[in-house]
Structure formats: structure tokens, C-alpha cells
Amino acid sequence: MLSVVDWGLRDYRESLAAMRALVGERRAARIPDTLILVEHPPVVTIGVEGDDGAARASGLPVVEVERGGRATYHAPGQLVGYPIVDLAPWDHDVRGFVTEVERAVVASIAPFGVTGGHVSGRRGVWVAGTRKIASVGIAVEGWVTYHGFALNVDLDLAPFDRFHPCGFDGPVMTSLAREVGHSLSVDEVKPHVRRAFERLSHRPLRAAAPAA
């Protein structure tokens, strides 16, 4: 059984501490695989591949983390998903799991008439191969995944221009609202994400009370 935890809008550092605690719980088999859904106040996170200095000079809050990838931006209007998943049933295939997370995000935006896909050598979900709608970066501890994806639903994309998201120029970033041409709420997208991860896990999702 895969649980879904909806944290609503939650501070990034607070969320990071809670997510790390859940990894320990999953490693100890005290909780099932869990998908956290959350939005964050504005913050730039920098993964293990680092940043060229632009993010730190952007004037935005910055947090360095252990996930894969470089720098990206989070803000309300972006749906962030953190799968806390034991990779044993995945034969410890980290790359394969990341690819399946990307496919789940692609499936989540398809009902809105937006076709996403993968670009060789570039992680994340892309539209028409040139516009990045979602970033994906995970970490693994004791074969349990954490961190995850950030899907741009309907947020101000201008802060991406203040650094180099994922090593690219800011204008490469797009959102679901921009692609469909009208406003969307994160709540409209969540059910599609839940269904996509249900298919990914091959297990039904159940709602869980907010944890940690």
C-alpha cells in the first residue's frame, strides 16, 4: 500500500527535516511507501551537481541538499512530490525509478492536453523537447528514495531568470498554465498525480494524515 500525505504549503527546511525522518521510518519498515505532496514558499535548492554561483547571488533563499541535479526554484503554484519508496522491489534500479517518476509526471499532465516527454541526457519532463515543465532529482539512503519532482502548475516563472535552473537559461522553464493558456490550481492537478503514481506503484493509494 502506498500512502499519500498532503502537506499543503510548508516551509522547505521544515519539510526537508520531516522528509528525512520519514526515510528513517521507511528504512525501519514502520511506514509503507509514501508519496508526499507539498508546495513551498519561494526558495532555491541546489543539488549535488552544484551551482555556478548565480543562485546564491539571486537574492532568493537558498538551501543546499543531497538530491541529484543542480539548482531549481520552488514557490506556491508548483506541485512538489517526494516519493519515499523502498527500491528493493525495483531491484535497486535507481535510474529506472527516476525514469518511471518522469513518466508518472508525463501521465499527470496529459489530461490537460499537454504532451510531455524525456530529452536524452536531460532529466525532468519537457514539452516539445525545448520547454521544461518539471524538474526531477532524487536521493537514496539505505535503498529508500527521497526528494523527487517539482511540477510547475501555475506560478510566476520570472525568478527562474535570476539564476540557471538545472544549468539552463531561465526562459527554458514553462508551466502547465502557460501551456494550456489559462490559470490552473495545484488542487486540480493533484488527483491526476495520485492516479499516475498509483499506476507507477501498481498499488492503490490511500490518504494519510499529515505526518511529522
Instruction: Give the active site residues.
Output: 166
Cell of 163: 539564476
Helix, strand, coil distribution of the chain in percent, nearest 5: 35, 30, 35
121, 157, 196, 49: CA torsion to nearest 10: 40
Gap between the Cα atoms of 134 and 120, Å rounded: 15
